[in-house]
Amino acid sequence: MIGRNMEMDEIRRIQSILQQQAPPEADKTTKGEGPSFSETLEKFVQDVNALQKDADEATQRLISGEAKNIHEVMLAMEEANTSFQLMMEMRNKILEAYREVMRMQV
């Protein structure tokens, strides 16, 4: 149950990040406004990288004895792992879509 709650919290966090990056509904009709697809992906990769670094730092603090709360370290590691898995699935879907477009006949 705890693992499922952590996954749901991670999904909600990612949704809030994506909603913050998405332009408001009224602006979607105008071209050229808001972040581009590549900017959105770059931001997401940077966020995943930051989570990975945070988890690594938390692990190092636990190993060195600075941190005493293994629970927080495990949460940081799981959050980093879940976000990395999501990023890899997104990459797979993007590559799959690209290959499908390349197979299309003109």
CB-count burial class (<10 Å; 0-12, 13-18, 19+) for 3: exposed
Q: Are 24 and 93 in contact (CB under 8 A)?
A: no
Q: Is residue 68 part of a domain?
A: yes
pTM: 0.63
Question: Domain total for the chain?
Answer: 1
Q: How many CA atoms lie within 13 A of 60 on its CB side?
A: 6
pLDDT, one tens digit per residue, over 4-31 is 666 667 777 777 776 776 666 544 545 6
Q: Is residue 30 part of a domain?
A: no
Q: Is residue 16 part of a domain?
A: no
Q: Is residue 33 part of a domain?
A: no
Q: Is residue 21 part of a domain?
A: no
Between CA 80 and CA 3 the distance in angstroms is 14
Residue 98 sits at the vertex; the CA angle it makes with 8 and 94, to the nearest 5 degrees, is 15
pLDDT, one tens digit per residue, over 31-89 is 668 888 889 989 999 999 999 999 999 999 999 999 888 999 999 999 999 999 999 99
Q: Which domain holds residue 90?
A: 40-106
